[in-house]
């Protein structure tokens, strides 16, 4: 972790979970470019996290990395206080980190559901809870963005436990928006197919990315810009922004990776 800044920096602080790589990194860099101090959370990608920290620091002047296993409740409860101790404040949380493992209705079991609910749902709720307590102690306000998925509005039976965990997080967003108001706003952002993976060839990704009414799904830049908008729009809470080129309006029988 980088040392604490020698002088306080009067800019808002955001904790982005899973910010070392991929979409989380894009969100972190976009917020840093917009003047946010960024706390980069990671679990297993320490080298990537340090690179994200360095790149954020070049834009905002201050950034640092924070390890935590989001499946461990004690670690999650300790995460935001560690960020506060380093930066002196936290103003927002982006719950981006996500467990995404395949199961189906046939292979479903308690262990898989528990694993997804802990990291994808429980951790996000605990961090929102902690942010609320922190801003209340400062007589301030804050915001939470929960990363969801267009598949909640266009369901298929693949990635069964993952989808349940994101559906639970979407419902939690509504309840948290009510429970934590007026101090903390809670907004969901639901991307479509945004980045490729080991499950897709480049050709498959390009073809499936085009499957939307707009002829393209979301890009990392689209999603990160939406997260920034949600964090900075003081009149928005208890809703979800779908950033997917309209993919949620189409019916897909399988997950993109298994089509």
Q: Tell me the angle at which helices 160-180 and 123-138 cross, rounded to the nearest 10 degrees.
A: 20
**Cα-based distances in Å from 173 to 75, 145, 168, 232:** 22, 9, 9, 17
Spans of all domains in the chain: 13-258
Whether 6 shows a pLDDT value over 60: the answer reads no
The class of domain 13-258 in CATH terms is alpha beta
Whether 229 shows a pLDDT value over 50: the answer reads yes
In sequence order, the β-bridge partners of residue 1 are: none
Q: What is the pLDDT of residues 157-188, one digit of tens each?
A: 999 999 999 999 999 999 999 999 999 999 99
High-pLDDT (> 70) share of the chain, %? 97
Report residue 95: phi and psi, to 5°. -85, 85
Assign residue 89 a region (left: φ > 0; alpha: ψ between -120 and 50; beta: otherwise). beta
Place of tokens 């808002």: 12
DSSP state of 11: S
> What's the pLDDT at 10?
81
Place of tokens 């990392």: 220
Task: Tell me the pLDDT band of 9, cut-offs 50, 70 and 90.
Answer: low
pTM reported for the whole predicted model? 0.94
The answer to whether the beta carbons of residues 166 and 120 sit under 8 Å apart is yes
């Amino acid at each position: 972790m980088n040392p604490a800044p020698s002088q306080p920096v009067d800019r808002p602080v955001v904790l982005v979970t899973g910010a070392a790589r991929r979409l989380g990194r894009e969100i972190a860099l976009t917020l840093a470019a917009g003047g946010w101090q960024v706390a980069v959370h990671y679990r297993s990608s320490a080298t990537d996290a340090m690179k994200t920290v360095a790149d954020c620091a070049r834009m905002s002047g201050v950034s640092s990395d924070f390890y935590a296993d989001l499946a461990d409740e004690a670690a999650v409860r300790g995460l935001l206080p560690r960020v506060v101790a380093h930066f002196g404040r936290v103003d927002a949380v982006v719950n981006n980190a996500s467990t995404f493992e395949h199961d189906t209705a046939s292979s479903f079991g308690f262990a898989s559901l528990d694993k997804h609910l802990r990291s994808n749902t429980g951790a996000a709720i605990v961090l929102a809870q902690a942010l609320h307590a922190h801003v209340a102690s400062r007589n301030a306000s804050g915001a939470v963005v929960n990363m969801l998925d267009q598949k909640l509005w266009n369901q298929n039976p693949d990635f069964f436990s993952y989808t349940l965990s994101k559906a639970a997080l979407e419902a939690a967003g509504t309840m948290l928006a009510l429970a934590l108001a007026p101090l903390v706003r809670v907004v969901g952002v639901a991307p479509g197919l945004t980045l490729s993976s080991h499950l897709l060839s480049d050709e498959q990704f390009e073809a499936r990315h085009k499957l939307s009414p707009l002829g393209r799904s979301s890009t990392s830049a689209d999603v990160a810009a939406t997260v920034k908008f949600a964090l900075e729009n003081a009149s928005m809470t208890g809703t979800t922004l779908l950033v997917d080129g309209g993919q949620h309006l189409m019916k897909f029988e399988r997950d993109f990776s298994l089509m």
